[in-house]
Structure 1
Amino acid sequence: MVLLGLRGGILGIDMGSVSLASAAGPVEPPMSWQSVPVGDGELLSLLLLRAQPGVEPGTTLLVTDELGGSASLELLPAESLQSLLDAAPPASILRVAGFIASRAIRPFRRGDDAALAAACHALAAQAGAPERHATPVALCGEDVQIWSLPRDLAPAPTTSLVIGRHRLRQASHAGGMLLLADRRFEGGYLLPAAGGEGPVHLAPASGRLPTLGELARRTDAPGRALYRAALQELSRRAAEDEAMRRLLRDHLVLAPLQPLTQVTELEEPFGGALEMALDDHAGGLFLRGWLRDPLGLIGQLTLQGSLGNLVLQDGQLIRFPRPDLVKKFAEAPHGSPGIRAGFVLHLPEAAAKPSAQWRLRVRLRSGDQVTLVAPPAITTPLLARDRILGAIAPPHVTPEILTRCIAPPVERLHRRIMEARQPPEVVRIGPVVADPVISLIVPIYRNVHYLRHQLAAIARDPALRQAELIYVLDSPEQREELEFMLRGQYGITRQPVTLVVQPANYGYGSACNAGVAEARAPVLLLLNSDVVPAGRGWLAPLLGTLAAAPHLVAVGPKLLYANDSLQHAGLYFERPETGDWHNNHYYKGLPRRFPRAERPREVPGITGAAFCVRREAFQKVGGFTTDYVVGDYEDSDLCLKLRADGGGIGYVPAAELYHFERQSITLHTGYTRSLTATYNRNLHHRRWSTDIAALMARDWPLDSIPAVGPG
C-alpha cells in the first residue's frame, strides 16, 4: 500500500470522486481518502492506494474528479507519518490510525501486513494519553484470550479495531468483555468504534491466565461474576462465529453433567422423559421424548439450555405412537398415556448457542414444576445422525415427521460428516496393469465372504487380464485382514490389485468415487463385493454394446439369484398411490431364461451392483452423489444424472453374473434398524420426482439396442 499526504488538500478537486492517472496508465483501485486537522486550522488529506507502477517518488499523477476539475501532483520522497502528525491533536492521530487500519483490513485485505500494523501501533501509542487498560482475565482454548474492558465502553454489541504490533483485526465485543483469537495482540490497542477518550491498551498478562473452566470453578463473588460475563460474551460470539461456537461447545462438554431425570413411576398422575436432545452441529436441536398426562395437569413446557430458555407451544410437538408406554402404564391408577404419547421436534436455531445437556421444565397447572433432564446433547455428527435415524420405528414415521423433524437434522449432520472426510490410503499389490481396457471397482463394507470366489472367477477369465481391479475398503478395521487375503490371492493368481482404504465408513457412493479416482481405463465397472460371474466371457457383451451403441453411456448385465432366478434385468421406478417413487427390477424372481429378459434393450436405469459406465460420462456428471446415507438410491440417482446429461442406459442379457443381494448392507445395524432407507428414498423422490414421472411415461420397447454375444 502507498499513503500519500497532502497538506490542505487539492484546490478545486472533489476528493470524494477523485481519479488518478500516471504515465503508466490509470491508477487501479481500490483507493480511499481521509482529511484530519493537524493544528492551527490546517487540514492533512491522506490518500491510500495499492502499490503499483507509476506511483513512486519522482513521478507525477494527474488528478481529476467527476465535476471536471483537474490538477497534477508531484510525488516527493517519503517522510515519516509521525512527522506529518507532530502538531496534530491525539484525536486526529487516532483518527489516522483508525483510517489506515480499517482500510488495510478492508478493502485492501492487508490485515496481516506487519509493517502496516507496526505503523498503526506507533500512532495509537502516540495518541494514547491518557492511557486506558484492558485486563486479560482468562484463556478459552489454546489461543483465545478473554479481556475485561474499561467500564466506560458501551455494553451493547459493537465492532472495534484491534491494532497489534504485527497484525490488524476487527473484533466484536459486548458487555465489557473482548475475545481475541490470537495472544500476540498483547501490548496492542483497541480502537473503540465510538471513539471516546482514546485507545484501550491491551495490557500483557502478568502471569499464568486461568482457563475458562478454571474460572468456572471459582466460588468467590467477583470470580463468579467474571465467569458469567465471559461465558455470556463467548455465547454471543458463538451465534455468529463458528470457531467461537466450537470453543463454547468444548467448554460445555467438559463441564460436569447432571444426572438423567425422568418421571416414570406408575403411581404418579403424570410422567415424561426427554430421551434425546441432540445438537445437529449447525445450530439446530433434535428432540425426542414422551409425556403422559391423562388428567391434563401440564400447563407449560420450557426447554432449558446452559445459555437460555425457550417456551414450547403444544402445537410444535409432533406426536407419534409409543406402544411400549401403553403397555407399561396399562395398570396405572391415573390412566393410560394414550397411544400417541411420543413427541418429536426439530428446532433449526435452538442450539445456535450450544448446550452440553438440555432440560425440559414441566410446569403443572397447580404451579408445581418438574424438570426432565436429557442425556448429553453433543456427540459426533456420525453418532447424532444415526441416533436420529433410529429415533422412531419406521411404521410410526409420517411424511410430516420425516420432512419436518428427521430430514433437516440428518441432512445437516451428514453434510458435516462428508465435509470432514480424510483422503484414503492406496496400496498397490502387484505391477500396475498397462493400458487397462476396463477398471473394476469393488466397494467393500465388512462382507468379504465372496471375495475369494470373485477374485478366482476374474483370474480364470482371459478377457480380464487387461482389467484393472480396484477394491475400496469402507470398514478400515478390516484393513489387515483384507490386505493379507489380497496378497495371498495375488501369490496364487498373479492378478494385480489396488486396495483403497477409506479412513471411515463414508458410504457406498463415496467409496465408489474414491475407487474411480484411482482408475485409468476408459470404461468403469462398479461391482458389488457379493457379485460373482456366472461364467467366462461376460465382459465382452458389455464392452461390445458400448462400442456398438455410442448413445449409451452405461449398461448393466443380467443378475441372478443363487437359485438361477432373475434378480435384475434393468431397473425401473414405481410409485404407490401415496408415497415416494422407489426402485424395482424388471422380471425379478422369474426364471433365468424368461424370454423378455433375454432381449437387450434400453431401460430407465440399472443397478449399482454391476454398473458399467464410460468414465468420461461418469466424471462429467460428478460421479456418485454422496448425500445419501450409507448406501441406497445412489445408483438410480447416477442413472438419472446421466440421462439428464443426454446419455442412454442399456440392459445386456448376454452378460450374466450372480448377485447374493444386500449382503453388506445387512451388516450395518445402523441401516437395518433405522429410517435410513426411508430417508434415502424420500431424498431421491424430492430430487427426481418430476424426471422419473416423465421417464416412466415413455415407451420402453424390446430389442432397442443391438445384441452382442459373449466373447
Structure 2
Amino acid sequence: MPRTAGLLALSPRLVLLALPDFAGTDRIVEAVLTGPAGQLEPPLSWQSLTLPEGRIHVLLTRMQPGLVPNAALQLSAAGGLTIRLTLEAAEDTEALLGSAEPGVLLALLRFLVAKALGAIRAAGDAELAQFCRRLAAAASATARTAQAVARCGRDALAWSLPGDAVPGVHILLAPHRMHRMVLADGPAILPDCGAHEAWLLPPGGGTLIHLPAPPRLPSLGQLGRGKDLRGRALHRAAQAELARRAAVEPAMQRLLRDQQLLQPTLPMHRHAAPDFPLGASLDLAVPDQAGGLFLRGWLRDPLGLVGSLTLVGPYGEQRLAPAALQRFPRPDLVKEFATAPHGGADCQAGFALHLPEGAARPAAQFRLRLGLTTGDEMTLVAPPGLLHPQAARDAILGAIAPAHATAALMARAIAPPVERLHALVMAGRGAPEVIRMGDAPRAPIASLVVPLYRNLRFLRHQLGAFARDPALREAELIYVLDSPEQRDEVEQMLRGMHRLYRLPLVLVVQPRNHGYGAACHAGVAEAGAPVLLLLNSDVVPATRNWLAPMLTALKRQRKLAAVGPKLLFEDGSLQHAGLYFLQMDGEAEWFNDHYFKGHPRHWPAAQVARRVPGITGAAFCVRAEAWKAVGGISTDYVIGDYEDSDLCLRLRAAGGEIGYIPQSELFHFERQSIRDHGGYARSLASTYNRTLHHRRWAPEIAALMARQARAERR
C-alpha cells in the first residue's frame, strides 16, 4: 500500500506537510526531504503532534517547486532509512491531521505562530494570519472572552482581559497579521481590528482569549471623565499601561502626548510675596521630546528654609540635587525684593537644569515641591510645556539673557535640549512650493540662491542691479522665501519685476521658517549651474560685472572650493575682506571676524586676492561639486550664524581652499533680516551656534590660525 503525506497550502508563500510516524523517525528534524525538483530548501520547521490514534510529524516550509498533489517525495532519515511518499492534497486542517481535537489544534497553532514570528518571518502574511484565526476559532472550546472598554486614538483599543490572564508575551491574531505583544497586569492596549474578531494566544500553556468585534466605544478620555467608578478605574489602569509602553513604542508615546495636550491643565502657581520668608517660581518645564526635560525658575531663600526639591510629574517623582542647578543672575528679583523684611534675593537667584531622562513619557505639566525644614511643603506649578518642537526650542533659547549664559550653563542646561529639539524641527521640514517665472538659461554660468526672511527693503534694488548687469542674464536667480506668510506679497513683487526686467526667476516658498541653512538647501535643490552663489537679500552689487572675477578664480585655480567678494558698508568702508577666527580676551571659544572691517574701501591690503581661512555666507561662491561632496551647508545651527564658517572648514577638511576676490565688490547692509527675527535677536541662538561651532572645530581652527599667523609673518 503506498504511503502518503498530507499537503495543505497555508498561503501563496507557505505550505504545511503532515507525515505519518515511522520507525526510525524519532529524530525527524534531521531528516532530508527530496522532491521532484530536488532537496527541499530551508527554512524547514518540524513539529511532532500526538493524536488519539498515534503521532504524526508536520513540516512548515516555504512553497517550493514540486510540492504539488500526487508528486513523489523521498524522506531520508537517520540509520539509512529511506521512505517514499506521495503528496496528497488536504482540504482543511482536520483532513490533514486526521483530528479536530482542540488540544491538537492549539498545539499546531502555537507551532505555526512561533515559526511565523521567528525563522519563517511571516508575521505579515495575511493569508497565514487568516488561517491561524480560523485555527484559533476551531480550538476555542475553552477560550475566555475579553471586553473592549475604550478607543485609544484611531488605531488601538483598550481591553479588559479575563481575571486569570497572566502578564507576558501574547500573540495577537489579527485579521491581516500577527503581533507580538508584551502585556502587563490590567487593561491591554491592542491594535484595532475593526469589525473583525481576533484572538490572543497567551504565553505558556494558557488558553485562548477571544476578542469579539467591539461595539461603539467611548474614547479613553471620555472613559476617564465619566461618572462610572469602574470606568474611571479602568481609565487609570489604561493610562498606566499607556505610559509603560510609551517608553519604547513611538505610537504609544504619540498617543500619550496627544492625550496630555487635551487634558485640563492647572494654572501656573508660584510664591512671590515679598513679606513671606521665601519665594520661588518654576517658570518653564519644557520636555525636549527625546526623553529629557528643561527647567528654569528662581528661588529666594535668605533664611535657608528649603531642605529638598522634588520634581513631580504625571508618572512619578524625581528628587533634585540643589548643587545640580545651574545658577544665573536675576537683577530684576534683586531689585523687587530689595526691601523684603526677611531678606532679599541672592544675586544668583535664577536656576536652570536639563534632566536628560526627566520626561521619558510625554507630560503636559510639571510641579516642583519644596520640602521645608519645618516638615511643611510648598508646591510650584509650571505652565504647560508640551509645545511644538520649534516653539520649545525657542522658549529654551529665550530663557536666559545672553549676558548671563556661562559656558557651563550652555553646556549642561541649554545646548542638550536645544540640540534635540532642533533636530526634530529640521526632521519635520515639509516640501517647499516652487514657482517659476520665465525660462531659465539652458546652461547657466552660476545659480544665485537668495534666502528671504521678512525684510524686503533691498529686494527691488538688488533685482534692479542684477537686471542692469549683462552677465546676470546667463545666471539663474533663485529666491527662497523663509517667511511663508509673505508669499502673496513676494510673488506679486517678483512677477512685477520679472515683467519689467524680463529676468527669469524662481521663487521657492518654504512651508515654515527653518533658518538660513535649510533655505539654502531648498534653493540649491532647484539649481542647475556648476557654481552656486549664496547671497543675502541685503547684498547689492556696487558695480557691474562683479560675478566674473569670482567665476574666473574658480576656473583658473582648481584648488579653490569657494571664494568670497569684497563687501562694503553703506558708507563705503570695508565690511568683509575674508573671514578669520579669533579668541576674545578671557574667552575660550573662537569667534568669527572679518579682515579690515571698518577700513577704507581701497585699503591696500584689502586690494590683494589671497587665500583666507573663510568667507562670509552673505556672499558665498562655491563649486556645486564641492558643495555636494560635503553635503552642503549644515542645518544644525539655529536660524543662522556660524554655518558659513562651518562650511568653509568642511570644504577645507575635504581638501579645498577658500579665496578672497577683491575685484568683486558689493554692498552689504549687514544683518537686516536677522534683526527682524525675534526668536534670534533676543535669545541665546548666537551663543548656542558659537558653542556648537567651537565644539566641532576648535582644534582645527587653532591649527589653521597658527598656520595663518606664520604665513602673515613671512
Give TM-score scaled by structure 2 length: 0.93
1:692 aligns with 2:701: yes
User: Who is 1:78 aligned against?
Assistant: 89
Which SS does the other structure have where 1:532 is aligned?
A: strand
Which residue pairs with 1:707 in the alignment? none
Q: State the Cα distance separating 1:490 from its structure 2 match.
A: 1.0
How far apart are residue 426 of structure 1 and its match?
0.3
SS at match of 1:327: helix
Q: Aligned runs of 1:527-542 on 2, under 5 Å?
A: 527-542=535-550
Query: In 2, Cα distance between the equivalents of 1:71 and 1:623?
Result: 67
Asked whether 1:177 is paired with 2:184, we answer: no
How far is the alpha carbon of 1:216 from its aligned partner? 1.0
State the Cα distance separating 1:642 from its structure 2 match: 1.3
The one-letter code of the counterpart of 2:651 is L
Q: Return closer, same or farther for 1:418/1:9 CA change in 2, 3 Å cut-off.
A: farther
**By how many angstroms is 1:532 displaced?**
0.6
SS in 1 for 2:392: helix
CA distances 1:101-126 after superposition (whole Å, capped 9, x unpaired) = 34334444433322111110111112
State the match for 1:414 in structure 2.
422
One-letter amino acid of the counterpart of residue 178, structure 1: A
Pairing 1:186-585 to 2, within 5 Å after superposition:
186-196=196-206, 198-205=207-214, 207-576=215-584, 577-585=586-594
**The residue matched to 1:587 in structure 2 has which SS?**
coil
- Counterpart position of 2:10: none
Q: Determine if contact 2:18/2:56 at 8 Å carries over to the other structure.
A: no
Aligned partner of 2:17 in structure 1 is 4
Q: 1:457 to 1:97 in 2, by over 3 A?
A: same
Offset at residue 526 of structure 1 (A): 0.8
Distance in 1, Cα, partners of 2:617 & 2:537: 11
Counterpart of 2:141 in structure 1 is: 129
Distance 1:153 1:607, change over 3 A: same
Superposed counterparts of 1:47-196, under 5 Å: 47=60, 49-53=61-65, 55-57=67-69, 76-79=87-90, 80-87=92-99, 89-154=101-166, 156=167, 158-184=168-194, 186-196=196-206
Letter in 2 for 1:144: A
In structure 2, the CA distance between the partners of 1:25 and 1:343, relative to structure 1 (3 Å rule), is: farther
* Shift in CA distance, 511/22, structure 1 to aligned 2, threshold 3 Å: farther
Residue by residue over 1:413-449, the C-alpha shift from the partner in whole angstroms, topping out at 9 and shown as x without a partner, is 1111111111000001112322111111101111111
Report Cα offsets for 1:631-681 as digits up to 9, x if no partner.
111111111111111112211111111111111111101101111001111
User: Shift in Å at residue 74 of structure 1?
Assistant: 5.4
Deviation at 1:387, TM superposition (A): 0.3
Q: Deviations over 1:211-263 (max 9, x none)?
A: 11111112332122111111111111111111111111111221111111111
Cα distance per residue 1:128-174 (max 9 Å; x no partner): 121201100001112211101111112x4x22100023322112221
Match of residue 47 from structure 2: 34
1:682 aligns with 2:685: no
Equivalent-residue separation in structure 1 for 2:74 and 2:619 (angstroms): 71
2:668 & 2:293 partners in 1: Cα distance?
Answer: 41
Instruction: Say if 2:46 and 2:57, in contact at 8 Å, map to a contact too.
Output: no
- The residue identity in structure 1 corresponding to 2:548 is A
Q: How many residues align?
A: 697
Equivalent pair of 2:563/2:658 in contact (CA under 8 Å):
yes
Task: Assess, with a 3 A threshold, how the Cα gap between structure 1 residues 257 and 52 changes in structure 2: closer, same or farther.
Answer: same
Secondary structure at the aligned position of 2:194 is classed as helix
Q: Distance in 2 between matches of 1:448 and 1:670?
A: 19
Q: Which sections of structure 1, spanning at least 5 residues, go unmatched? A: 704-711
Does the aligned pair in 1 maintain the 2:32–2:75 contact within 8 Å?
yes
RMSD: 2.4
Q: Which residue of 1 aligns with 2:643?
A: 634
The 5-angstrom pairing of residues 555-704 of structure 1 reads: 555-576=563-584, 577-699=586-708
The answer to whether the Cα contact below 8 Å between 1:34 and 1:99 also exists between their aligned partners in 2 is yes
Cα distance change, pair 27–590 in 1 and its aligned pair in 2 (3 A): farther
Give the SS at the match of 1:593.
coil
> Does structure 1 retain, via aligned residues, the 8 Å contact 2:287–2:294?
yes
Q: 5+ residue gaps in structure 2?
A: 1-13
| Structure 1, 427-436 or 90-99: larger mean CA deviation | 90-99
Q: CA deviation at 1:699?
A: 3.9
% same residue:
55
Distance in 1 separating the partners of 2:138 and 2:611: 80
Q: Which moved more, 1:28-37 or 1:434-443?
A: 28-37
Amino acid at match of 2:50: P
Looking at structure 2, the residues matched to 187 and 428 of structure 1 have their Cα atoms a distance apart, in angstroms, of 54
Task: Supply the AA of the counterpart residue of 2:613.
Answer: P
Question: What secondary structure does 2:242 align onto?
Answer: helix
